[in-house]
Amino acid sequence: MQKIAYVNGSFVPGEQAMVPVTDRGFLFGDGIYEVTSVIDGRMVDNELHLARLQRSLGEIRIAMPAPLERIREIQHELIRVNDLSEGMVYIQVTRGAAERDFVFPAADVAPSLVMFTQQKNLVGAPSGVKGLKVMTFPDLRWTRRDIKSVNLLAQVIAKQAAAEAGCNEAWMLDGEMVTEGGSSTAYILTANDTIVTRPRSTMTLSGCTCAALQTLIVERGLKLEERPFSLAEAKAAKEAFATSATTLVAAVVEIDGEAIGDGKPGPVATELRRLYVERARAS
């Protein structure tokens, strides 16, 4: 089956999905993206992702390329025409195509909207079942990490280093403090059974899966503390885990070659993953 994408008003075969070479996303990384997971043919936490898309676009002064209702329609149509049962829907909005100049183009230059789907094993992914191996890496990103920019070079470098070391993810370090994963939110479970993750700020991306999971954490009566934590704390934790639209909730079983707990997914992370998938399938 030929994959179908959406580019600036048209549904086209994937190999014909193109933007001009002067698109500012291509030239400057001047754009925003979102990824919504799909389980059983239904999008998960999509309203959180669309709200974050709006916020990020507003932070860098790019207009919404279409009303939210139209974006939802396109998402559903892409899932339908690509017969997607499990995977992701990707959205990218850039400031549009114009003559190369660092200054914003004229107001009549329309933003570019590109969307496509990707089939991916989410629920049964080996890393979700067996746990993630994490490598730490210096956080080289700019200071507005709360904006979901398409400029991901620092994360690419970190995640490539992790992959070459036989790991699934990189946890970024600001000095000795963990900020977040290369493409995930980081958590630890302390000795007194408190789940710790960073609070919302410009230091990290506000995770949509994180927000949904925190609701489950509160519903289960688990203790949650939003604060920074160090690499030393993470290595000494009872459990560690990560969340994202594509990893869902995944235990971290190893950091820099050192086992977390007994080196297997812990009961808290395992239960939270089960609950998250159950909620996603019921939504």
Tens of pLDDT, residues 202-239: 999 999 999 999 999 999 999 999 999 999 999 999 99
pLDDT at 1: 61
- Residue 45 sits at φ, ψ, to 5 deg, of 55, 30
Residue numbers annotated as active site: 148
**Torsion angle of C-alpha atoms 75, 272, 225, 212, degrees rounded to 10:** 20
pLDDT at 283: 82
Q: What is the pTM of this model?
A: 0.95
| pLDDT at 113 > cutoff 90 | yes
- Residue 252 sits at φ, ψ, to 5 deg, of -105, 120
| pLDDT at 251 > cutoff 90 | yes
Confidence of residue 2 (pLDDT cuts 50, 70, 90): confident
Selected residue with higher pLDDT from 128 and 44: 44
Q: Is 33 helix (H, G, I), strand (E, B) or coil?
A: strand
pLDDT at 184: 98
